[in-house]
Chain A
Amino acid sequence: MRNIEKNIARRKALDALFAIVGLLATFVGMITLAALVVDLAVDGAGRLSLKFFTSFPSRFPSEAGILSAWVGTTLVMLVTAVTAVPVGVAAGVYLEEYAPKNWLSALIEINIANLAGVPSIVYGLMALGLFVYQLNLGHSILTAGLTLALLILPIVIVATREAVRAVPATIREAAYALGATRWQTIRDHVLPYSTGGILTGVIIALSRAIGETAPLITIGALTFIAFLPEPPLKAEFPFVSFDWLMSPFTVMPIQMFNWMSRPQHEFHVNAAAAGLVLMAMTLAMNAFAIYLRHRFRKRIKW
């Protein structure tokens, strides 16, 4: 009897111990995140000023800024979103609503799962060989946007599928009963109901793309750009211009990497400041996504 009591006490002690270990392990992740933000803030917050956002990079660390970097990031993200969102949503809708059960559908499914494990730099190599040299798109914003679009396509597809799957079958049946076609049902009922989930996935995917560095270095993004691409809007006819698509570019993470790899400490300060801006962008996007998910989950009651 004594033995059994001892045994029980030991097991309970181990159980309680693990509860503490588990909590500590979770905190290791959070403490790292906090240390990272604090480290960046301590190093770089002093550099943040309006001038930092409106200056081109420079040989003199105190005059260097991130103007060409944030403009480049914005334009590349525009191309990425415009390509990845329609294709990704269409693919997700097809796989969830249309795809017959055959080997081709199975192949597409396995393929999407495997793409998630492909290192991002490999996408860069593919873009270098295909977009830059085979299709002659050059080291341009267009190439960069397309590369990142391919990279985030699987994320958009998976998010769309989950959102579409969450719409109950009764909604579709009601639409069919009124004589709607399959596409009418999807366009007027399924897609509007799954917008929240799709949007959440798209924002998370774009926040991944904003921080991607390696594939863009691979396709030959420049690290020192002291000019802006052609503006997309013009005063004379036809008012819009797409010349900016073929412009050379740099983006926030590449600018940060460039400053980081210099020996002078002053440039490291610039890198920290750029890192802070980058972190603020990605964290804000993720926070917005979490908020959206929460809000839509609350509002829709079938």
Chain B
Amino acid sequence: MSRLKGRRIRERIIELFLFLAALSSVAITVGIVGVLLYESERFFRHVSLVDFLTDTQWTVLFADPHYGILPLVAGTAVTSAIALLVALPLGTVIAIYLSEYAHVKAREILKPVLELLSAVPTVVFGYFALLFVTPLLQRVLPDLPGFNMLSAGIVIGIMIVPYVSSLSEDAMKAVPAHIREGSYAMGATRLQTAVRVVVPSAFSGIASAYVLGFSRAVGETMIVAVAAGTQPSLTLNPTQGAATITAYIVQVSLGDLPHGTVAYQSIFAAGLTLMVMTLAFNIAGYLLRKRFREKY
């Protein structure tokens, strides 16, 4: 009898440990949000929120510091926009091709090889952008500076293609066969079926893929730190070099920055801005998915 009781207690203890492990993922989120808010709150004791959002200069490390996040946000927006212009069309076309056109055997080979692209360390992509893509672009645009957002954006775009294509393809594969067959029975071609039936039905999943692609583009660090430069400048011209939010954090971290200074706190404020941007886009994606969800 007591053996059974001991067994039951042991079972409970093990379950408790497993539960704590699962709860640790929530602790990570709490930790992230907590640290960002704590240090940002100290930052905003020195810098007013209005200055932060409206000043057009970001010169934290200078003798006459300005704390306007706009130049960094502009740099992030331009590189991400270029990346999405590359990744969304390319990723969607690849997903349609793999899901609706490619032979099963071809897909079994093409998909893992394509996914290797997302396994390449981003610092290697940075090297590729700076010393391969930029010189290549300079042949077409001779005035292009060595550090520019165009080359960084294009390479980020290619890096996130597999995220977009894999998730979109999974969503398209999940569309029930009878819906597709109905379309074929009406005489539609594969392209018409894909564009008018499969893509709208899988829209919810495709939107998730786009949102993840956006998060990756905004948060990408090493490619922009290497290839787009670290000079904050308020410009929307992609042929210029400019720092992004992430590149600024890297630049500051590389120096020996004393704990507790405003410059130290500024990287947390920058990180918080980054989180707010991704969060806003995630919520937008969630609303979009809810609006267009197809039920079958």
Contact = CB atoms under 8 A, between A and B. Distances in A.
Contact of B19 (A36, A94, A123, A260): A94
Interface stretch (B50-58, B214-222, B231-239): B214-222
A271 B126 CA distance: 11
A49 interface: no
A292 to B, nearest CB: 13
Contact of B191 (A15, A133, A217, A279): A15
Given A99-B22, A290-B112, A271 B271 contact: no
Contact residues of A: prevailing secondary structure? helix
Nearest to A286: B119
B121 A115 contact: no
Contacts, number: 257
A211 interface: yes
B280 interface: no
Interface residues of B, number: 81
* Most interface-central of B29, B125, B268, B282 (chain A CB within 10 A): B29
A179 B158 CA distance: 54
A170 interface: no
B122 A30 contact: no
Interface stretch (B7-15, B137-145, B198-206, B287-295): B7-15
A90 B11 contact: no
Nearest to A216: B253
A82 to B, nearest CB: 14
Contacts of A226: none
Nearest to A112: B25
Contacts of B117: 29, 32-33
A181 B25 CA distance: 27
B151 to A, nearest CB: 13
Contacts of A283: 116, 119
Interface string B104-144: 00000010111011011111111110111000000000000
B121 A18 contact: no
Contacts of A207: 119
B22 A90 contact: yes
A157 interface: yes
A175 interface: no
A246 interface: no
Interface in B18-40: 18-19, 21-26, 28-29, 31-32, 35-36, 38-39
A283 B121 CA distance: 10
Interface residues of A, number: 87
Contact of B275 (A94, A118, A213, A268): A118
A40 B131 CA distance: 10
Contact residues of B: prevailing secondary structure? helix
Nearest to B214: A117
B249 A260 contact: no
A264 interface: no
A217 B35 contact: no
Contact of A279 (B121, B212, B218): B121
A130 B37 CA distance: 12
Contacts of B18: 90-91, 93-94, 98
B190 interface: yes
B127 A25 contact: no
Interface in A85-104: 86-88, 90-91, 93-95, 98-99
B270 to A, nearest CB: 9
Interface of B: 7, 10-11, 14-15, 17-19, 21-26, 28-29, 31-32, 35-36, 38-39, 90, 93-94, 96-98, 101-102, 110, 112-114, 116-117, 119-128, 130-132, 158, 161-162, 189-192, 194, 211-212, 215-216, 218-222, 225-226, 246, 249-250, 253-254, 259, 267-268, 271, 274-275, 278, 282
17 contacts: A18-B97, A19-B190, A22-B98, A33-B116, A36-B128, A111-B26, A116-B212, A117-B216, A118-B278, A125-B268, A125-B271, A126-B28, A129-B36, A133-B259, A183-B10, A256-B123, A283-B116
Given A40-B128, A119-B275, 4 more contacts: A87-B21, A94-B18, A214-B122, A283-B119
Nearest 10 interchain pairs by C-beta:
A119-B219, A22-B97, A211-B121, A90-B21, A129-B35, A94-B18, A214-B221, A117-B215, A15-B189, A91-B22
